[in-house]
Amino acid sequence: MSTLTTEEIKAAALRAMLSVTEEEAQVYVEKLEVFDEYVNKLNELDTENVEPMTHALQQENVMREDVVTDVLDREVMLENVKESKDGQIKVPTIL
Amino acid sequence: MTLFSKTAAELQSLLHNKEVSVKDLTEESFARIAKTDDDVQAFLALDEKQALQRAEQLDKEPMDGRGPLFGLPIGIKDNIVTKGLETTAASRMLENFVPVFDATVVEKINNAGMVSVGKLNLDEFAMGSTTESSAFRTTRNPWNLDHVPGGSSGGSAAAVAAGEVPFALGTDTGGSIRQPAAFCGVVGMKPTYGRVSRLGVIPMAASLDQVGPITRNVTDNALLLSAIAGVDPKDSSSSAKEVLDYQKHLTGDIKGMKIGVPKEYLGEGVAEETKNAVQEALKVLESLGAEVEEVSLPHATYALPTYYFICASEASSGLARYDGIRYGHRTEHAQNLDELYRKSRAEGFGEEVKKRILLGTYTLSAAHYESVYKKAQKVRRLVAQDFANVFAKYDVIIGPTAPTTAYKIGDTSIDIATKNASDLLTTSVNLAGVPAISVPCGFSNGLPLGLQVIGNHFDEATVYKVAHAYEQATEFHTRTPAIWEGK
């Protein structure tokens, strides 16, 4: 049994900016049916006093001098944009 | 037979004696691709004109000052950006995307004088272990074209195994260099997290991804890692630790070295022929003077669920950048901006990618962040601590790279025990961030098996030393698939 329902899939899709049809949501429910099993597996372990590990290596405060280094030109960065005008990206109506 | 049966050192001596030119080597690569890639389907894009031009330029360089990789052809996994050359990550989302800068690793191979010949197939956004989720083609295993090359760096491993290129770059998030290397009978190294810059590497899971070399032998692999490793001011997760000349550590002397063999790595789901091949390999290492003992990584079976949640969470965040605005696929069916985002992403991403984005988004939601995501991060520490405990007493850890030989293309009947063993063997290494290599250690029904040698953080030198000693004591790496001789 999965804890994920089609409603939850659709809610996640809404947050992930992804359109998903009812049929697709059902497919993902099936594909994610191990969710519960995996959560249960993790819950076998007592991690009360374990610090979360966010990265493979603990690196802290990687600093650099606050100087401008080479960056790409605006025209170059716009090369992969579908539509642009006067150095700005064009998108459909927002409001 | 091809020139690429030779090692980098042998090819250098041919170049120095003017028996071949860089252009000859480059042409050899394209000739091999023309001959075999209709069958193997490893390449997504070729860069023949540029490569030949570059080869001619390189031929003019004086012999002194050429490094050990000078003039040698290399293929690049297509999730590593190459300026001016289409980079797709095998996704419709990036179809026709032409990067405007080179990844740091690409700059480094160029500085080493290598010649990039093209881009290699992968599972879409590196999410998979068969290369079948590529939006563009299915790469086939050069040892048997009915089988997968593994993945996600399936194109990279297959191209090297087919003798199309002597070198390739892959990426490894949960086994994506090592498992295809094992399936294709070549050598694949996942370095320590942070050893190689990730700038310009299209991310799957930022705290797990690492670039590494795929080659036909350990020595060439060590040479390529020395060339691509090092700190990058543009990747703050890259390490400033000194990069060693790994080749100097390939002495063949492993007397007294302590090898730990986790009992969890030879458990359920691992095929008998795989276990036998590993046991034989351990005997070889013992005969070379190493001490082999059984050890335990007690949290090994927790690696899979931990990886599952962390990888998907990071992927959902990392892939948020594909919005149809600045680059990548943009829908033609949007009435407003919101629809533009949603439809562009729905049309551009394949099913596996969407699945992981949805899983990651769900896992990171307020309701599950603590109970699932943070829980997985805590278990990650326990998985990593297991490695630290073993490395306090042992030089390397050894086990199989994959539980079986390569699956048949389209095989949906792979049993759950095999799948679980597959993830158990590779993902824990990424969670811990340690380096690991796969070297050929046998064959079963004509398909290769891989031996995995895992080392402590930044101890690639020891991993290479053990892998090299084993390789030199065996002959598996000298075998070539029938496709080398023509069909």
**Confidence class for position B486, pLDDT limits 50, 70, 90:** low
Asked, for residue A35, whether it belongs to a domain, the answer is yes
pLDDT beyond 80 at A1 = no
Contacts of B302 in chain A (CB under 8 A): 41-42, 44-45
**Contact predicate B71/B15, CB 8 Å:** yes
Report the percentage of chain A scoring pLDDT > 70. 97
- What's the pLDDT score for residue A63? 85
A12 is a domain residue: yes
For chain A, how many residues are written?
Answer: 95
A12-41 pLDDT, tens digit each: 999 999 999 999 999 999 999 999 999 999
In sequence order, what are the beta bridge partners of A84? Answer: A89
Q: DSSP 3-state assignment of B30?
A: helix
- C-alpha to C-alpha distance for B345 and B336, rounded to whole angstroms: 14
Kindly state the average pLDDT of the residues B338-363: 96
Sheet holding B258-262, edge to edge: B43-46, B115-120, B73-77, B167-172, B210-215, B187-190, B436-444, B447-454, B396-400, B258-262, B291-295
| Mean pLDDT, rounded, of chain B | 97
Q: Does any domain span residue A52?
A: no
Q: What angle do CA A46, A52, A58 make, to 5 degrees?
A: 140
Confidence category of residue B321, pLDDT binned at 50, 70, 90:
very high
Q: What is the mean pLDDT of chain A?
A: 90
Residues on chain B touching A47 (C-beta within 8 angstroms): 375, 378-379, 382
Domain assignment present for residue A19? The answer is yes
pLDDT, position A65? 86
Q: Which residues contact B6 (CB under 8 A, 6 or more apart)?
A: B14, B166
Domain B3-260+391-485 is of which CATH architecture? Alpha-Beta Complex (3.90)
Residue A3 has pLDDT above 80, yes or no: no
- How many domains does the structure of chain A reveal? 1
Residue A64 CA from chain centroid, whole number = 27
Residues of A in contact with B207 (CB under 8 A): 54-56
pLDDT score for B220: 98
Q: What angle do CA B108, B452, B446 make, to 5 degrees?
A: 100
Q: Which one of B362, B373, B382 would you mutate to disrupt binding with A, by most A Cβ within 10 Å of its Cβ? A: B362
The answer to whether residue A17 sits within a structural domain is yes
Residue B391 to residue B483: CA distance in whole angstroms: 41
Q: Which pLDDT score, from 0 to 100, does residue A56 have?
A: 87
Mutation target among A8, A14, A18 for the B interface, most CBs of B within 10 A: A18
pLDDT score of B161: 98
Residue-wise pLDDT for B96-132, tens only, equals: 999 999 999 999 999 999 999 999 999 999 999 999 9
Q: pLDDT for B35-94, tens place per residue?
A: 999 999 999 999 999 999 999 999 999 999 999 999 999 999 999 999 999 999 999 999
**Interval B15-22 mean pLDDT:** 97
Assigned domain for A27 exists: yes
> Is pLDDT of B142 > 50?
yes
pLDDT per position as a tens digit, B442-476: 999 999 999 999 999 999 999 999 999 999 999 99
Nearest to B385 by CA among B295, B297, B307: B297
Q: Could you tell me if residue A11 is inside a domain?
A: yes
pLDDT of B487 reads 46
- At B50, which amino acid appears? Q
**DSSP-derived 3-state class of residue B396:** strand
* CATH code at position A37: 1.10.20
Q: How distant, in Å, are the alpha carbons of B93, B129, B305 from that of B353?
A: 11, 13, 18
**Bridge partners (DSSP) listed for residue B43:** B120
Is residue B268 pLDDT above 80, yes or no? yes
Read off the pLDDT of residues B376-399 as tens digits, 9 standing for 90 and up: 999 999 999 999 999 999 999 999
ipTM of the complex: 0.94
Q: What is the mean pLDDT of residues B200-223?
A: 97
**Interface contact flag, B371 A39, Cβ < 8 Å:** yes
What is the spatial distance between Cα B24 and Cα B464, in angstroms, rounded to a whole number? 30
Residues 6+ apart with CB under 8 A from B11: B3, B20, B25, B71, B72, B166
> Between B327, B359, B382, which is nearest A81 by CB?
B327
pLDDT in tens, B415-448: 999 999 999 999 999 999 999 999 999 999 999 9
Q: Which two tokens stand for residue B164?
A: 């199309």
Contact B237/A at CB under 8 A: yes
CB contact (8 A) between residue B194 and residue A57: yes
Cα B214–Cα B219–Cα B225 angle in degrees, nearest 5: 55
d(CA B404, CA B419): 10
Question: Is A70 within the bounds of a domain?
Answer: no
Q: Which residues of B are catalytic?
A: 77, 152, 176
Judged by average pLDDT, the poorest of A71-75, B143-147, B325-329 is: A71-75
Residue ranges of domains in chain B: 3-260+391-485
Are B53 and B89 contacting, i.e. CB atoms less than 8 angstroms apart? no
Confidence of residue B1 (pLDDT cuts 50, 70, 90): low
The answer to whether the CB atoms of A42 and B306 lie below 8 A apart is yes
**Nearest-angstrom CA–CA distance, B395 and B381:** 21
Cβ atoms of B43 and B118 closer than 8 Å? yes
